[in-house]
Structure 1
């Protein structure tokens, strides 16, 4: 097994962090380009938003596909090949004719982008000692954040300076270089043991999690909260690209620096849940997301940025706590439980445009905020209900894992999900 801070640990951790950055750069780079894509192809805001929604929906489907496949076929090959095809898809986005072709390629790219998130932590679990695993996952989560921010900044700046095609060519070209480095850095798996690919066993594990109300509640909290959070950014790009702000793609990409508030929220979630019950922390995070949404109604750009930072802090506080809740309350098949959480998470992101678009058409940004607040009442109520139902549960960090899990497994599974 790979020991903490050994040469192999640094090499493998660097490879997986690099792979994570590649995934989220390619997934989110088009987001600040949505107004330009709408104008270039002459489509509606709903159609332009599908550039993001279609890809995130495909990521959600891929998580259910690649996890079981990796148990049978191995994880390294899946990560290498899906990253390669993801980079090639970005190059293709610069060349594909027509908006329909662009959407189809984004769906295919989303399927490939789901490969690494579906299996990266499982690869670490196979190869790393427990202490090495914990440290590597922390760095991997940080790389998720860097990829999400970096992709939007790179896409926005390149789109403004050189145009849409050049932006996708640049992202694809840089990704290919990074993929080559990933292939070289990632060590060969030495402790993987293939398992039979049994659809019946997989289905039974997924069904068991869906019959457990505390898990279903967390799935809804993650999915509905992310639906609001990520799609607000998309509609803000349309709002701020028009008068009176008139921001260009480069400056729209800078909006996503407010994600750093989410980095802080996720980092503090563990400390906060050692003092307060997890459902209360989830409810607090959702409340902050609601408060930040209200703050975006002001006309000041500075005020909007401050509100988005509060949004990010609140959302990632709730998201990190909900994902840890899933790890602590799963009934066996923890991989299936975590996969279902991520499926709901990305499914929420993919459905957000369909939900918010009618409100945008009727009332523009105030309509988006009103629809957001109305929907957020659902996960807020679920979090409060989980608190009443589970008031006697052991607190995260209390040192008392669920009886069905060994101590090391409980600590490992309480890590936040490593996805933005």
Structure 2
């Protein structure tokens, strides 16, 4: 699970710390350059509408393996042609391929893992997503200091391809997967049932904004960091992304807590942690910025662990794959839409005011969850 998550999230996020370089190479604004990430998450979100259909017909493991192999190949060829729209097209295809893995992984775990260990394993999986995203950002930042963007894409794609083959060999086959009669009508009904279920619908809106804010901060933080008084180079900025490894710790901690107890206050605390960390990134003192990134990442991955467990346990029993896809759709639409549009907000307000706006939104969500938590967001079975 760590290996699969690592491949997916490294393939997705290796471009993020290099957005400023894509902007310079292709003569694009920050908002337009951020499309190298946003177009991937947009295509991923919409591809998730059909991904459960494929997962049910091919099987969980087969779908995940195919997803990883194709994602790796498209990464290798993403810079084969030196044109911005070719890059966007390849990133679009990468998003489509990733959807197969994300539509299958939580359902695979739910089918194969004992219930009392499920929360821990989900925590491990989410820790893998943090690890993949962080190391990809670091590696791409280090490589680009010594190689061009084309070479970076080939190296990351090639390494992912090797890791995908290992995943294929190492992952246990599905023993509890049962293929059921499944048509597009079943798919539509599953999506409707999952979307309207009042036990989980609030978590969709919550994840839309939380991941959108997280993506926005990481998309544009390189701009203030490269300007005076900090004036950091790309390698140092890439190393700073190691601060988000705190997400590995928070995923494991909250995964264990979820096996014992849960309260909506845990989710609200995670949002407050995010807001606190974001505010610290507005300072001109480097160690405070690093501390802010550590706290910010700790909060977002804690919330992701809670939300993933929530969906897996409270989704309709016959529509768990669809419910997980709906969650992922909101997750990646938030990442793409907010991550892209917030670039214009950043240009208009500047870094400090931009951060105070998104932090205010997180605090607003804390109060909204307090109001609606009892009716929509109670996780554990009575």
| TM superposition score normalised by structure 1 | 0.82
Mapping of residues 273-288 of structure 1, within 5 Å: 278-288=263-273
Quick check: 1:379 aligned with 2:368?
Answer: no
Structure 2 gaps, min length 5: none
- Deviation track 1:81-122 (CA, whole Å, cap 9, x = no partner) reads 222221111111231221111111101111112222221343
Mapping of residues 236-275 of structure 1, within 5 Å: 236-270=221-255
Alignment check: 8 A CA contact 1:290 1:376 kept = yes
Alignment check: 8 A CA contact 1:87 1:173 kept = yes
Q: 2:88 aligns with which of 98, 103, 120?
A: 103
Deviation at 1:175, TM superposition (A): 1.6
Mapping of residues 23-62 of structure 1, within 5 Å: 23-62=8-47
Task: Say if 1:210 and 1:114 are closer, same or farther in 2 by CA, change over 3 A.
Answer: closer
Deviation at 1:142, TM superposition (A): 2.9
Alignment check: 8 A CA contact 1:292 1:310 kept = yes
Quick check: 1:160 aligned with 2:145?
Answer: yes
Q: 1:142 aligns with which of 114, 118, 127?
A: 127
Correspondence for 1:308: 293
Alignment check: 8 A CA contact 2:202 2:376 kept = no
Q: 2:325 aligns with which of 295, 316, 339?
A: 339
Task: Say if 1:274 and 1:137 are closer, same or farther in 2 by CA, change over 3 A.
Answer: closer
Deviation at 1:349, TM superposition (A): 0.4
- Deviation track 1:349-387 (CA, whole Å, cap 9, x = no partner) reads 011233312221122102321331343244223311133
Correspondence for 2:343: 357
Deviation at 1:44, TM superposition (A): 0.3
Correspondence for 2:280: 295
Correspondence for 2:64: 79
Quick check: 1:115 aligned with 2:100?
Answer: yes
Structure number with bigger Rg:
1
Q: What is the distance in 2 between the residues matched to 1:258 and 1:202?
A: 40
Q: What is the distance in 1 between the residues matched to 2:107 and 2:211?
A: 24
Q: What is the distance in 2 between the residues matched to 1:389 and 1:82?
A: 37
SS of the equivalent of 2:85 reads helix
Deviation at 1:302, TM superposition (A): 0.9
Alignment check: 8 A CA contact 2:270 2:299 kept = yes
Q: What is the distance in 1 between the residues matched to 2:255 and 2:161?
A: 36
Alignment check: 8 A CA contact 2:267 2:303 kept = yes
Structure 1 gaps, min length 5: 1-15, 403-420
Q: Which structure carries more relative contact order (alpha carbon 8 Å, separation 6+)? A: 2
Correspondence for 1:211: 196
Deviation at 1:195, TM superposition (A): 1.9
SS of the equivalent of 1:264 reads helix
Correspondence for 2:352: 366
Q: 2:307 aligns with which of 299, 322, 332?
A: 322
- What is the aligned residue count? 381
Is the deviation greater in 30-39 or in 171-180?
Answer: 171-180
Quick check: 1:225 aligned with 2:216?
Answer: no
Q: Aligned-residue CA RMSD in angstroms?
A: 2.6
Q: What is the distance in 1 between the residues matched to 2:274 and 2:141?
A: 25
Alignment check: 8 A CA contact 1:220 1:379 kept = no
Alignment check: 8 A CA contact 1:269 1:320 kept = yes
Q: What is the distance in 2 between the residues matched to 1:342 and 1:129?
A: 23
Task: Say if 1:209 and 1:132 are closer, same or farther in 2 by CA, change over 3 A.
Answer: closer
Alignment check: 8 A CA contact 1:286 1:318 kept = yes
Q: What is the distance in 1 between the residues matched to 2:273 and 2:121?
A: 30
